[in-house]
Amino acid sequence: MAEKVFVKNLPHDTTEEVLKEHFSTAGQVLSVKIIRDQRGRSRCFGFVEVEEPDAVIEALDGKELGKRPLKVARARPQVMPGGGPGGRGRRGGPRDRR
């Protein structure tokens, strides 16, 4: 089943194309996203959606890309800002006041 893996410690100049090529050596890559700041510079981490996440993690965790060892792990589900639906978080909202 396709799943995203989290990749950190990317070299600053890594492109999504280079990252896709690197991950393709370990399995089928469905999508690649390098996270960038407001100026467009790499924040040195990203996400790669792959068919076989366990095989990719085993093959590439700790392996070098551009002389930097990568950390590859399963991506955690994205958390909604404010703690979930309704955006009230732990503090509650108008409905919780009496």
Quote the number of domains for the chain. Answer: 1
68-69 vs 71-74, strand pairing mode: unpaired
Residue 37 has pLDDT above 60, yes or no: yes
Is residue 36, in this structure, part of any structural domain at all?
yes
pLDDT in tens, 53-90: 999 999 999 999 999 999 999 999 888 776 556 555 55
Instruction: Please provide the DSSP assignment of 12-56 as one string.
Output: TT--HHHHHHHHHTTS-EEEEEEEE-TTS-EEEEEEEEES-HHHH
pLDDT in tens, 8-17: 999 999 999 9
Pairwise CA distance, residues 9 & 31, whole Å:
19
Is residue 40, in this structure, part of any structural domain at all?
yes
Domain range holding 70? 3-74
Q: Which residues contact 71 (CB under 8 A, 6 or more apart)?
A: 7, 8, 9, 61, 62
Is residue 83, in this structure, part of any structural domain at all?
no
- CATH at residue 25: 3.30.70.330
